[in-house]
Chain A
């Protein structure tokens, strides 16, 4: 295997001191292969943004090794900055400047020669469809426009690695699809792309590699298809009626658990007492239908699917991504986090 373009070894990051200290990363290991479109998946507060800020050389880790494109980010941060494009989550713009002026500033900070800079800006305007508004003041831009401008400024210096922090949060479907297209093209033309997301379907659709991160460490990683295949079995959702009651659901659960080929039956209280099953293979579903018919039970809905990333997540963390989000939402300190992001 070739050397990974991004290599984080045993990276820890602690914010604050003493009793108030928060460990954002706890010995995180992450290897991103060259030329991959890599998804970093995890609930809010898992340490995704901290990881990306360390890669962008905005933060120094408390301990551990950080390597980007073969360079040690602590020993040669400037070399890393030259090779890495960073698209932050919250887009800070100088509202009084136009998008073009911001890109020109950015180009000069990356020391592009004047003519190459302007040509590159023209190319990116064309590619990202920004021609209509690029000369307007950036204070007037919509969320989608700002995200495109940010993507453009991340790509201006043709980086080897593009790092994006939740690039499609809050975007309309059209802008999201447009950004997905560009990210795929980038990957196809040799740029390594690392994006964080807490949208399962985004990572599932885009990434050819992913890592699930929780509590500041990577708890599972690999290609999505492999992770799903490793879980094994199919998922079946069964509804006896549109709205069942608990005693009936429990009765059916008992009945189905006895069937051969059924690994697990869970009563999903949140979804009208439907039943979630993990089954061995295709034939089992026909078996289930017969069993239900014999027991004179109706079937309102019966759906079978391969394991999803949500199942991967559930398996790795013991809870769904949504539950994890809800759990963190209550304990985060927005003010402290804002302070951490200030440099």
Chain B
């Protein structure tokens, strides 16, 4: 150590008080996002497993139901082509549902306290950073899934389809990440959070249109699938895979009515905003 002759250790008057809230929010969000990407870069196994797993799903499920009876799927779609959208959405959903785990570990190890003693403009930046990270990760996974599906002869949704996938995943990831982070702040520890993730994950998959259409399900399950957020994300992407995509086209034939792609995305957006407003008080509890 050297002695401090200069004013190295003297306090300074706040000079940046007039900085805009948006600039601050951007800086803190990007810094938190950078941390997540640095972690990923140094633990690439997360990425490798995250890309491999959905491909295995695609190949195995595709093979399992390759001989599904004629007429199971609308418009004589092959099962592989049908499945792609389900795997894309489910993969992003799983990643977003797990987003709360690192935050929970930060809580348990005390690292979160470092973030909470800092003058964050909003603790929402912790949520936003996770959303950015998971969305980017999901896009990489989705592109890998789509490329594999194309190789397997299950088709390609086209450029517009790619844009649609991006938009849909962003909305879904926003909603589910918000929920997961809310749980990470509300539950007592990681054991409880893992239990919730475990209980929510696969049932939501099976009670959606990821693996089979509503027309194939018993009425009660059809109703569940028709209100399941995953379904609202899957059907627009699936329509793009079927090759006749437009936002005003009906993509979901629910027991309560017909929904267009735009309506599905609207539901997802409403869900994202609703969940975000719901968890805000959890983030800011006790002290803002």
Give A residues with C-beta under 8 Å from B: 56-60, 74, 77-79, 81-84, 86, 88, 90, 92-94, 96-97, 101, 104-106, 108-113, 123, 126-129, 153, 155, 158-160, 178, 181-182, 185-186, 189-191, 339, 341-343
Contact = CB atoms under 8 A, between A and B. Distances in A.
A158 B12 contact: yes
Contacts of B112: 343
B16 A92 contact: no
A186 B2 CA distance: 13
Given A158-B10, A343-B107, A94 B35 contact: yes
A94 B115 CA distance: 12
Given A101-B38, A105-B34, A93 B16 contact: no
5 contacts: A57-B287, A94-B39, A105-B34, A108-B31, A191-B10
Contacts of A97: 35, 38-39
Contact of A191 (B9, B28, B288): B9
B35 A105 contact: yes
B119 interface: yes
A155 B9 contact: yes
Nearest to A130: B1
Contacts of B287: 57-58, 60, 74, 77
Taking each of B3, B8, B16, B188, which has the highest tally of chain A beta carbons within 10 Å of its own beta carbon? B8
A172 B160 CA distance: 63
A189 B4 contact: yes
Nearest to A179: B1
Contact of B119 (A82, A155, A160): A82
A181 B2 CA distance: 10
B11 A159 contact: yes
Given A155-B9, A178-B1, A190-B10, 4 more contacts: A78-B121, A126-B2, A182-B4, A339-B188
A5 to B, nearest CB: 10
Interface in B3-45: 3-4, 7-12, 14, 16, 19, 23-24, 27-28, 30-32, 34-35, 38-39, 42-43
Contact of A129 (B1, B31, B38, B43): B1
Taking each of B1, B2, B106, B116, which has the highest tally of chain A beta carbons within 10 Å of its own beta carbon? B1
Given A96-B39, A109-B31, A127-B1, A185 B9 contact: yes
B44 to A, nearest CB: 12
Contacts of B12: 158
Interface string B216-248: 000000000000000000000000000000000
Contact of B43 (A82, A83, A96, A104): A96
Interface residues of B, number: 46
B49 to A, nearest CB: 17
Given A57-B287, A94-B35, A158-B11, A111 B2 contact: no
B129 to A, nearest CB: 11
Interface string B247-288: 000000000000000000000000000000000000000111
Contacts of A182: 1, 4, 9
B8 A127 contact: yes
Contact of B113 (A88, A94, A109): A88
B107 A191 contact: no
Interface in B157-213: 188
Contacts of A74: 287
B288 A108 contact: no
Contact of A111 (B16, B35, B106): B16
A295 B180 CA distance: 81
Taking each of A57, A81, A129, A343, which has the highest tally of chain B beta carbons within 10 Å of its own beta carbon? A343
B175 to A, nearest CB: 24
B109 A105 contact: no
A327 B156 CA distance: 72
B26 to A, nearest CB: 10
A129 B288 CA distance: 36
A159 B118 CA distance: 11
Contact of A81 (B4, B43, B117): B117
Nearest to B39: A96
Contacts of A155: 9
Nearest to B14: A82
Contacts of A101: 35, 38
Contacts of B42: 96
A92 B11 contact: no
B45 to A, nearest CB: 12
Contacts of A186: 9
A97 B36 CA distance: 10
Nearest to B189: A342
B110 A88 contact: yes
A108 B30 contact: yes
B135 to A, nearest CB: 21
Given A96-B42, A105-B35, A127-B1, A110 B119 contact: yes
